[in-house]
Amino acid sequence: MGKVYLVGAGPGDPELITVKGVRCIREADIILYDRLIHPKLLDYARSEAELLYCGKLPGFHTMKQETMNRFLVKHALAGKTVTRLKGGDPFVYGRGGEEAEALVRHGVDFEVVPGITAGIAAPAYAGIPVTHRAHASTFAFVTGHRKKGEEEELQWENLARGIDTLAIYMGVKNLPYIRERLLTHGKPPHTPVALIHWGTTHDQRTVTGTLEDLVDLARRHQVKNPTLILVGEVVAFREKLAWFEKRLDGEWEGARLEKVGV
């Protein structure tokens, strides 16, 4: 009997994976990895390890979830050490719970290795603290879309009135609906918002505005997935706490000057 490790690889920056996560990659016979995994993390794998890509794009699944579950079970029952490498945290919108259930049904031993999720990491790299003693004591992860065919279950009134900071995942496609729901249920139109694209990576780009202008903001800056939507007064801290993108700008400028011989 083998074993499966459900590993959170972190939000994008390869240095944000945990030490235990790296060990699971190094010891794996088989690695099933997602689209948002930084390629450098696969450098930790043994040369003889089998690497299986199972990433998903919006509207297109390279490998269906049921197939992934079968692969995990099949290889573990064959005595293999399997690492299921997921962006962020496996239990935060990573469908790790579904995979764990499948493993339990088939009597497969497994461990969950938590990872840093984009809901806290992307804002941090954008210079936005999701909580602040003077401004935000409550914080919630929110999914920006539901499983196809399911009725809306989100408690928008509670989210709009009772939570200081909202981190909304996978919501770019539904921005008009998200904006309308929050405004309808009492979130002030002037509430600051941030759209953080490819957070924690060298492609990170952050645009800010207000909830009222959210849809126009995304359209004007051509915001696409993967983007985290952050809603709350703490977004205002970005103006003085932004550090990562300033560093990237400095690196780009330094490289440009070096290229022209300055």
| Residues forming the active site | 34, 56, 170
Within 10 A of 215 (CB to CB), how many other CB atoms are there?
Answer: 16
Sign, CA dihedral 100-139-216-208, equals negative
Sign, CA dihedral 203-164-136-118, equals negative
Instruction: State the distance between the two ends of the chain, measured CA to CA, in whole angstroms.
Output: 61
CA distance 131 to 116: 16
Distances (CA, A) of 12 to 37, 129, 256, 260: 7, 18, 25, 31
Within 10 A of 211 (CB to CB), how many other CB atoms are there?
Answer: 21
Residue 197: strand pairing partners: 205, 227
Helix (H) or strand (E) holding 252: helix 244-259
Query: Parallel, antiparallel, or unpaired for β 109-113 and 81-86?
Result: unpaired
Going across the sheet that includes 3-8, the strands are: 50-53, 30-33, 81-86, 3-8, 109-113
CA distance 53 to 31: 8
